[in-house]
Every structure is written in C-alpha cells, then in structure tokens.
Structure 1
Amino acid sequence: MSGKSSRPKGYQLTVKLRERLPEKRGSQKRVELPPGEPNSLAYFAESYLASLVLKYRSAATLSLRRDGLKFFLSWAGERELVSPAAITKPILESYQRHLMRHRKSNDKPLGLSTQRIRLGVLRDYFSWLTKQDHLQANPAADLELPRPEKRLPKEPLSLQQIQNLLAIPDVTDPLGIRDRALLELFYSTGIRRSELTQLQLHDLNPERQTLQIRQGKGSKDRVVPVGNRALKWVETYLETVRPKLLLHPAEQALFLTSYGGPFHPDVLSRMVAKWLKQSGMDRPGSCHLLRHSCATHLLEGGADIRYIQQLLGHEQLETTAIYTQVSIERLKEVHTRCHPAEAKPAQPRQDKP
C-alpha cells in the first residue's frame, strides 16, 4: 500500500472553492423558541410543534413553522402578551401590520409569501390551542391572509443556452464528469434541488431508465423517466468518479461532494449559478431554471401537460400551467406567423380619379 489518496486530480484545488457545506437550515442550527412559563404561549408552542412531526415529515416545513412561531412570540413578548387568552383578533391584526412594515437585514420588506406563511402558522397554532381546550375561541379564525403573489415564471433557457451550459463542466476531469451528470439529470427529469440531494444509489434503475424520487414536496414519492443521454452521464459518473469520492463504504447518496458526503441544496444552487454565468447568462435563477426549462421544452415539443404534471410532482394542474408558460420568443414567432396585421401587406391599389 503506497498510502496515496485515490482522490481525482484537482481535488485539493477545487474542494475549497465550491463545495464547502453551509450550515443546514433547520438542522445544524435549529431556531430555538424562547423558554415559556407554564400555560404561556411559548410553553404550549413546543407541544404544538411536536404534534406537527406526525403531520409533516418534511424538515423544511417544520423549520418554517418553528421560525414563524418564534418571530411572533418575540413580538408578543416585547408587548408583554404572555398567555393565549391575551391574544385577540385586533392584536393579531396589529401583528399583521407589523409584518407589512418589517424590514429584513438587507432593508427589503418581507415578501407576501413570507407574510402568508407567518400568519398561516398563527391560524393553525391558535386553532390547535382551541382544540386542546387552552382557549375558548380562536382569535385567528377570521384572520385574512395576504393574497398570493401571481408572478410570471422566469424565461426558460433556450435549447442553445442549455447546450452552452452543459458544455461548461470539464469532462476530462473527474469532477467535471460528475458535474455534467448533475446538469443532465436536472434538465432531463426536472427534479428539484432538494430531491436531487436526497437521491440514493438504489433510487436509480438503469434497466428501466427510471428514477425513484422519495419524499418529494408534500412528502410524496414518484417515479420519473431518465433520458438516454442523462443516464449515460450518470452511469459514467457512478463507474469512474463516485468510487474515488467515496470516503465511507456505507454512504448511499447518489451524488457526492469532494468531501465524500451528500450535497446541500444551497451548494448546488451556487454551483449552477456559477455555471450559468460562465456560459454567458448572468441572470437570476439556478437549479429551478433547469426544472422550468425542462417542463417548457417538453410542452413546446408536444407533451401533454398532464404528463408534465406527473414528472414535476405537482399536486394541482394549475401549478404546472404556471411553470410551463411558453417562452416569449416562441410567442413572438406565433404572433408574427398568425396575426393578420403581421401578414405581408398587399400592394395598394392605384384607383383612377
């Protein structure tokens, strides 16, 4: 045994630059609730959150609930509102106005979606307090939430832009092979970044060319097809690269960082954003842009929207319709071809006087 590392070349140079793991939200540094006196809002909050573990298996969902509840408890504590009975609808409406005025650390206001989440947590929490007989009536029962924002989806990447992006990883380098496999799988399956980080070796079925996505959004499982090109790159990565990255034989994560462990979603976002910039596209969006491009290109290629819905794992067809808005370039082509005002003008007739 020479004792030399089997790490791929360039590992020491690459790992420090792009794959250092951030603290995982909701796991390594959990948002703690302030300690509460018996029968106080904070006291009951822990029991409420414990009840959600059985209802929501997603750590991200639980973290959002805990974070939203902590924000309210801090606001209430500053106003000496300690017991559940002290909370009335006017007080909750005052808190709602506080959310509207609140500025984040970057001096930007809270988005409407964040406000909806934080108020929705309170509606659920006070409903739970009422059902547990800690309150006689739910003060949040008629609390109106902000209407959800209806944003137009980001313009998807064109086919040429996809090819430019896929060409960025250096496939003569082992890590470049892994990165190309990551991008191909994102674009082929439309998988979410959180779902990709949770993939295990046994989730890929090369014979059937399918991928089992477990505990996706809404804690739902689904099986999606994997295209030939993407499958070949993933198999090449598994055969030639993953064994060199593996530190612990028991590790089952499909994609490994240079540290030998699974990716964190934020790391994937930073990597894809960097590749987008390197390919000449300095625009917002990263992993989700590939998901949106996958869905849009399938729709433009003639795929039934119901199949795209199943691929993306959307519960409502309306959600899929939003993600698969046709690109503006395609719309311009159709407009030029079909609108009567865009037709080649006829020569004006020379009427005799």
Structure 2
Amino acid sequence: MESIIEDYREYQTIIRGYTPKVVKATWRELKKLAQYLENLSINFQNVQLVHLENYCIERTESKSLGYRNVIISQLRSFFNYLVQQEFRLENPARHLRYTNLDLYQSLPEIASIEEIQDCLKELKRQIDSCLSRRQFDPIRKRNLALFALLYASGIRAGEAANLQIRDILWEEQVLIIREGKGRKERRVPVVNEILELLQIYLATRNDLEPNAPLFLTWRKEAMDNNLIGATFRKYHEMWEKSLRPHQLRHICASHLYQQGGNIVQIKDWLGHKRLTTTLHYTRIQNPEIEATLESHPINEMSCSSKPKLEIVNVSSQNKPLRRKYTMTPIAEPLTGKLAEQIQEFLRTAEGMKKYSKGTLKEFRFSLTRFAVGCPHCLEKGIEVLRAVDIIRWLSARRQAGISPCTIDKNLSHLRSFMAYVMLRQYHGPILRHLLLS
C-alpha cells in the first residue's frame, strides 16, 4: 500500500498539478487509512464500502462535518485513481454521501468592534510590559501585526503564512495574495495603521530580502497554517471570546457589511467565487431589522379578549368512533442476524449524518415491525429474503387496519435498508430484483 500511495502522490503533483498543501494533506490521510486497513488485515484491493464508512465515522468523531466531507472527497479521488490504473474494478467510495452542511451550520460567533479593540490593546500592553526582556520583543510585535492584518484584510491563515515581503506594496497600500485558495491571485487594500505595525515588526529583523517570508518563527523559519492557529490559542485565556484565525475573516466581512460595505465588493475582497459564500460570512443580526419590526402596523392593533370556554358534558354514545392503532408487541429486544444488520444500518446512518433523528426513529420502527413480521429472516438475516415474504408482511399490515400512507412509508424504509444491504455485498440473489421492481 505504501507504493500505491507514493504513486498517487506523484500523480497528484505532476499530472493533476495540485498544490503542495493539498498533496501533503491527501498523503497524510491515505497513510492513516492504510494503517486502519492494516489493523483489519485489509488492503486497497479488497476494501469495501462498510470499511470506508466505519473509517470516516471513527476518523471524524468530535470533528466538524466539513472535515468529513474533505475526507470523503479525498477517498473518492483516490479510488477513482485505482480504477483508472486497473488496481480495482469498481470504486467503493463513490457511495459515500456528502453531508449537507446547510442543515447543521450555525451562525458564526461575531465579536464586536469594542472586543477587537480590547484584544489589540492587550497585545500592545504586552509589548510595553516586556521592555526588560528584549528576546520576546520581536515575537510579540509579530503577533500584534499578524492579528491586526488578519482582522483588517480578512485573509486566510494559510495566505498570511505564504506572504513574502515583496507582496506588500507600501506606496499603493495594497497586499498581493499570490497563492490564495484555488491558486487565485488577488489584491487586498491595507490601511496605513496596519502598514505601520508591519514596519515596526520588520524593524526587529535583519533579513529583509524581497523573497523572504513576512512572518517568521523564533527559529527564523517561515510560519505555517498550524503554527498561526497555535499562536492564537495562547491568547484564549486573556480574551473574552475564543478567536481563531478564520473567525477574524468572518468578523472582518461582518464588520464591513455592518458599516455599509457593498456585498459584491466584499466578495472580491475575500476572494470568493460565489456571492452565496459571502452571504454566509455576513449572516449576522442586523440592527435595522429590529427597528423595522417595531414600526410594523400590527403593533398598533389590539386583539379582543378570548371568550371563556364552557365545558359541555358529552355522552359516550355521541362520541365519534376512532380506530385503535395497532402496536407491534415486543416483549424483549430482537435477537438474530437481521436485528444485527438493522442495528448496523442505523448506526452507519446516524454516524454519517444521512438522516435526521426523527427519520432514524421512523426507520427503527418500520424495520422492527418488518423483523417481527418475518421471523424466518430475523433468524437467518436479509440474505434469505424473498418476494413472497414482503408480500405476506404487507398483506398482514393491511389486514391489521394500517393506512395505505403508513404502509407506503414502511415499504420506502425497507427499500432504503435493502439498498444499503446490496452495497455491502452480503445480499441474496433475489434482493437486486426486489429493489429494482
């Protein structure tokens, strides 16, 4: 597996022309996947979808859903490469579903202008309080310039790490981003106060070659994305809010929008391809909305008081007849091969965020009713399922008085479960015909 990973790394670099950052991240992820499969005594040639799903669930536990989508994209591309090179006949990762981030995204935490000013004052105070320890002076001035630059320009942490001294046009007050996301180059205006902080920091350095990195570490090496994040984490205790480097990008866009900035200009400023991406950065509470609601005409209307309800005794003879809902009697938890397969399906669906909690609950009810109504399959698993078993189960549901709408929903849940079973290749010969019929 090591040789395959190295060949794919060369393919990404030379043939596809990916950036070194993307190539390194993919190489790291495939190394972890190889270690995971090696513990299971599996290689890239015989890995199945169920193994990749379990890997994604374990790998992204307590991580963001966007991070999971990145891993799924890396796995899809890698196994497509294996199919092209005839290492495999099919791509098992193509059935990995991306998570719809719009269903789980929340509004970013936006710090106020006063809170940002307090952070800048704290960084300046640290510089003034360390006059007796000159060895820390360059680092603290660098941190102040870096924080102010990220907030004022809205650039990404990786873009700040790739900056060079020649990228600052002092007279034009412009910052050139040469290696932005997607290899896009753009120009970002910089105010005079930020340029002064950069000059104060550069005055502490001896190497001012044009191609030298703008921000250096203590060992005179170029900073990277991870080191910038670690630098910000050191200040979490003294700041009221946890400010990460990318949060300053959100805050920059939000403050520009609050101050009356044009959304199209903000899009070009941040280097976004689509306007909808910029709208997510500026999804903040607009003070004008509250003032508009206060002037709504409905505020001047008065509603009449509710009349008191009179309690009327109705005899039991006049009550409308209602159908008694049938419940599936389950004395104890289900045991059997089918019950294990149902539990695996529900665990995978919950781990991969395919369905909501309410939908998973309905899946559990429908599949449990099916397992109880098909004891032959409950013992031996879904492999022995036949069309006559489904017909008998649906007929029993109709005879029990279940509505056609509920029966259709149960059948839809069963079809989704059967599709999951087919992708894991432990299905019987009749399942494909049942699913397509």
- Are the aligned partners of 1:129 and 1:135 in contact in 2 as well (CA < 8 Å)? yes
What is residue 198 of structure 2 aligned with on the other side?
234
Q: Tell me by how many angstroms 1:336 deviates.
A: 3.3
Matches of 2:122 and 2:25, distance apart in 1: 35
What is residue 99 of structure 1 aligned with on the other side?
56
Matches of 2:73 and 2:21, distance apart in 1: 16
Q: Percent identity, aligned pairs only? A: 26
Could you give the per-residue CA deviations for residues 114-165 of structure 1, whole angstroms, max 9, x where no partner exists? Answer: 3323332222122112222333433433443333364224222211111111
- Are the aligned partners of 1:152 and 1:322 in contact in 2 as well (CA < 8 Å)? no
- Are the aligned partners of 1:211 and 1:224 in contact in 2 as well (CA < 8 Å)? yes
Paired residue type of 2:41:
E
Could you give the per-residue CA deviations for residues 270-317 of structure 1, whole angstroms, max 9, x where no partner exists? Answer: 333444542x41x33322222111111111122222221222122232
1:179–1:141 CA distance, 2 compared to 1 (3 A): closer
User: Are 1:314 and 2:272 matched, yes or no?
Assistant: yes
Could you give the per-residue CA deviations for residues 9-52 of structure 1, whole angstroms, max 9, x where no partner exists? Answer: xxxxxxxxxxxxxxxxxxxxxxxxxxx4xxxxx44332122111
**From 119, 135, 143, the counterpart of 2:72:** 119
1:340–1:134 CA distance, 2 compared to 1 (3 A): same
1:68–1:180 CA distance, 2 compared to 1 (3 A): closer
What secondary structure is seen at the aligned counterpart in 1 of 2:176? strand
Structure 2: 5+ residue stretches without partners: 132-136, 303-437
User: Are 1:63 and 2:24 matched, yes or no?
Assistant: yes
Structure 1: 5+ residue stretches without partners: 1-35, 37-41, 349-353
- Are the aligned partners of 1:190 and 1:295 in contact in 2 as well (CA < 8 Å)? yes
- Are the aligned partners of 1:69 and 1:118 in contact in 2 as well (CA < 8 Å)? no
- Are the aligned partners of 1:242 and 1:255 in contact in 2 as well (CA < 8 Å)? no
Residues 1-353 of structure 1 aligned to structure 2 (within 5 Å)? 36=1, 42-54=2-14, 55-82=16-43, 84=45, 86-87=46-47, 91-100=48-57, 102=58, 108-148=61-101, 150-170=104-124, 171-172=127-128, 174-175=137-138, 176-238=140-202, 240-243=203-206, 246=207, 252-275=212-235, 277-278=237-238, 280-281=239-240, 283-326=241-284, 328=285, 331=286, 333-340=287-294
Matches of 1:118 and 1:337, distance apart in 2: 44
Matches of 1:130 and 1:347, distance apart in 2: 68
Paired residue type of 1:241:
T
- Are the aligned partners of 2:151 and 2:252 in contact in 1 as well (CA < 8 Å)? yes
Question: Normalized per residue, which structure has more helix?
Answer: 2
1:114–1:93 CA distance, 2 compared to 1 (3 A): farther
Matches of 2:271 and 2:199, distance apart in 1: 24
What is residue 26 of structure 1 aligned with on the other side?
none
What is residue 367 of structure 2 aligned with on the other side?
none
- Are the aligned partners of 2:254 and 2:282 in contact in 1 as well (CA < 8 Å)? yes
- Are the aligned partners of 1:337 and 1:343 in contact in 2 as well (CA < 8 Å)? no
What is residue 323 of structure 2 aligned with on the other side?
none
What secondary structure is seen at the aligned counterpart in 1 of 2:288? helix
Greater C-alpha radius of gyration: 2
1:76–1:266 CA distance, 2 compared to 1 (3 A): closer
What is residue 20 of structure 1 aligned with on the other side?
none
Matches of 1:343 and 1:259, distance apart in 2: 65
Paired residue type of 1:97:
N
What secondary structure is seen at the aligned counterpart in 1 of 2:187? strand
- Are the aligned partners of 1:253 and 1:262 in contact in 2 as well (CA < 8 Å)? yes
Aligned length: 290
What secondary structure is seen at the aligned counterpart in 2 of 1:140? helix
| TM-score under structure 1 length normalisation | 0.71
Could you give the per-residue CA deviations for residues 42-72 of structure 1, whole angstroms, max 9, x where no partner exists? Answer: 4433212211113354333223212322233
Paired residue type of 2:259:
G
1:345–1:299 CA distance, 2 compared to 1 (3 A): closer
Say which structure, 1 or 2, has more relative contact order (CA 8 Å, 6+ apart).
1
- Are the aligned partners of 1:68 and 1:117 in contact in 2 as well (CA < 8 Å)? no
What secondary structure is seen at the aligned counterpart in 1 of 2:150? helix
1:207–1:144 CA distance, 2 compared to 1 (3 A): same
Paired residue type of 1:195:
E
